[in-house]
Amino acid sequence: KNEVEQSPQNLTAQEGEFITINCSYSVGISALHWLQQHPGGGIVSLFMLSSGKKKHGRLIATINIQEKHSSLHITASHPRDSAVYICAVPGSARQLTFGSGTQLTVLP
Partner 1 sequence: DTAVSQTPKYLVTQMGNDKSIKCEQNLGHDTMYWYKQDSKKFLKIMFSYNNKELIINETVPNRFSPKSPDKAHLNLHINSLELGDSAVYFCASSQDLGGYTNYGYTFGSGTRLTVV
Q: Using CB under 8 A as the criterion, which residues of the chain lie in contact with partner 1 when the complex forms?
A: 30-31, 33, 35, 37, 41-45, 47-48, 50, 84, 86, 88, 90-91, 93-98, 100-101
Closest contact distance (angstroms) between CB of 98 and partner 1 is 4
Q: Find all residues with CB under 8 Å of 66, minimum gap 6, and list them.
A: none
Residue 101, Cβ density class (10 Å: 0-12 exposed, 13-18 middle, ≥19 buried): middle
Which residue, 55 or 94, has its beta carbon nearer to partner 1?
A: 94
The secondary structure of 90-101 as a DSSP string is E-TTS-EEE---
Distance CA 29, CA 55 (A): 21
Which residue, 13 or 84, has its beta carbon nearer to partner 1?
A: 84
Which residue, 16 or 91, has its beta carbon nearer to partner 1?
A: 91
Which residue, 60 or 84, has its beta carbon nearer to partner 1?
A: 84
From the CB of residue 100, how many other CB atoms can be counted at a distance below 10 Å? Answer: 13
Closest contact distance (angstroms) between CB of 67 and partner 1 is 21
Closest contact distance (angstroms) between CB of 16 and partner 1 is 27
Closest contact distance (angstroms) between CB of 92 and partner 1 is 10
Distance CA 51, CA 70 (A): 10
